[in-house]
Amino acid sequence: MRSSFTSLYEFTAEGLELFQRVMRGELAEAALDIENPVYALPLEGTKAFNAVDFTTARDMAEAVCKSFGSRSPQAMAGNAGLWAWLTFVLVDNLFPAVGGTRQIKELHRWYPASPNDWRKAQRHLVRMPVLLFQAFGKDADHLICGRPAVGPDIREQLTSQQDMFSANFQKACRVLYFDEKKGSVKRGTGSKDGPGIPRRLAVLRRQLDVTWDMTDLSPERILELLPPEFDRYKAQVRCIRRSAEL
């Protein structure tokens, strides 16, 4: 498949239909000819895009954001044809073949759910990293520092509530969970059980939201409000700061 494009494209209704059949394994990938205007049309206002091998979801998101040109990824969040096209041209990044077969897995990782569907929309492997990178830049590092093929639990948890899409909240999350030195999430962050993990933060945020205006609290204030179970992650922050000062 071609990997260099003069602009971003969007699947037509026919292209979207074929895309779904390909992803479900009913048709071979070659059946979807992205050069054919019946299946895909260029998206006006966007720039060239190279679907190269990306090391992280962040690198991928940055490249896609650049290609949006004068268009806003946020305004195009509901354009299923566009996100499906990106999924298809990035399929080797998102669903690499193992032993000759792709592990496609759950529908909403590759087919974009309605952007306001708070339970499924954040699972898409291209759209979510792009929207996060566009909205928060480096403050989304903890959510998109992994491989493009992985939709990590931290991303699912810390984007599961509409009010989590606030810059200050994500800044606080980055301080807690991102290891600046390693350029990856801190140890233990991916656990599904235990104190101070992202799952606990998601639960706690909802509780704090009853008393505090969480969407507008400063990151420092959010960190202050967290109970001692999060000290483990805060302590790592302090250690890093201290070593940087030495």
Binding stretches for other proteins (CB under 8 A): 10, 12-13, 72, 74-75, 77-81, 114-118, 121-122, 131, 135, 159, 162-163, 165-166, 210-213, 215-218, 221
| Closer CB to other proteins, 67 or 159, in the complex | 159
Contacts of 159 (CB under 8 A, 6+ apart): 122, 128, 132, 143, 165
| Closer CB to other proteins, 80 or 95, in the complex | 80
Least distance from C-beta 70 to other proteins, angstroms?
A: 13
- Answer for the pair 77, 34: CB distance below 8 angstroms, yes or no: no
| Closer CB to other proteins, 118 or 184, in the complex | 118
Contacts of 193 (CB under 8 A, 6+ apart): 199
Least distance from C-beta 225 to other proteins, angstroms?
A: 9
List beta partners, residue 102: 97
Least distance from C-beta 169 to other proteins, angstroms?
A: 9
| Closer CB to other proteins, 57 or 217, in the complex | 217
Least distance from C-beta 83 to other proteins, angstroms?
A: 12
Find, among 42, 45, 50, 51, the residue nearest to 15 by Cα: 42
Packing angle of the helix pair 127-136, 57-67 (nearest 10 deg): 80
